[in-house]
């Protein structure tokens, strides 16, 4: 029992370290970019859908479609943006520390790199990705709403159908996706940054770590998204 309590206390101390706050602040800078991208995607998608739906007299149905698309598409888009904005930064940072032998210095001081460097990044991604996703969903839906309004769609019907189309499975699925995506991005990027071979400990090795982060993260994200499509 005492051993379990010590483990819990240790985890709590790790969570409330200053490093975690720094990582949360770093990810916080992505909110604006993510919201802008979501808004633009919503406008582009909304225009294309409305053109075809209005042509066949189904313009009012775009509200339901907009709601479904926002919750299905934006967790994936948010994850891809996070790879380019956050995952790449993590990989480059840790790979540079590896090249500069700072990782070896931490090990010499009996500090575990995964505990000191990776854990705050991992927890920060788990915390912030759902928030990023929600902002992107609302931005995307707002973009679709503005386009539908500009094209003469009955907005009362649009909003009523959007409201009726929404159910909590969208929210649960979207938040679970965001959390899993965040954890996977953090683990892959940090692993690629830390696991440089001796012959790769150079500027070229840093670029290679970034390249592997993007490739592995994209593959993992699309596979996870595919699995979620069949689980809900």
H or E element in which residue 120 lies = helix 119-150
pTM score, two decimals? Answer: 0.81
H or E element in which residue 17 lies = none
Work out the mean pLDDT of the chain and round it to a whole number: 79
Show the tokens assigned to 4. Answer: 């379990």
Nearest to 123 by CA among 24, 6, 7: 24
30-77 tens-digit pLDDT: 788 888 888 898 888 777 777 766 666 666 667 777 777 778 888 899
Q: For residue 112, what are the contacts with CB-CB under 8 A and spacing of at least 6? A: 106
Q: Is the pLDDT of residue 115 over 80?
A: no
CA 99 to chain centre: 28
Q: For residue 224, what are the contacts with CB-CB under 8 A and spacing of at least 6? A: 177, 180, 181, 184
DSSP 8-state class, residue 109? T
Straight-line distance from the first to the last Cα atom of the chain, in angstroms, rounded to the nearest whole number: 38
């Amino acid at each position: 029992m005492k051993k379990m309590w010590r483990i819990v206390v240790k985890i709590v101390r790790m969570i409330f370290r200053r490093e975690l706050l720094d990582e949360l602040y770093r990810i916080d800078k992505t909110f604006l970019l993510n919201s802008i991208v979501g808004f633009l995607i919503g406008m582009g998608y909304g225009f294309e859908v409305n053109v075809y739906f209005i042509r066949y007299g189904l313009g009012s149905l775009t509200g339901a479609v907009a709601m479904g698309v926002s919750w299905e598409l934006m967790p994936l888009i948010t994850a891809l943006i996070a790879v380019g904005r956050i995952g790449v930064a993590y990989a480059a940072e840790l790979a540079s520390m590896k090249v500069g032998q700072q990782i070896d210095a931490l090990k010499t001081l009996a500090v575990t790199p995964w505990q000191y460097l990776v854990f705050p990044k991992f927890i920060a991604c788990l915390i912030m990705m759902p928030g990023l996703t929600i902002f992107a969903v609302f931005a995307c839906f707002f973009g679709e709403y503005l386009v539908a309004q500009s094209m003469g769609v009955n907005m009362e019907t649009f909003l009523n159908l959007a409201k009726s189309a929404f159910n909590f499975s969208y929210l649960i699925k979207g938040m679970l996706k965001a959390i899993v995506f965040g954890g996977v991005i953090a683990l892959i990027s940090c692993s690629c940054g830390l696991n440089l071979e001796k012959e790769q400990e150079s500027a070229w090795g840093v670029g290679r770590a970034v390249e592997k982060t993007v490739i592995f993260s994209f593959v993992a994200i699309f596979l996870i998204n595919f699995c979620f499509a069949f689980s809900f």
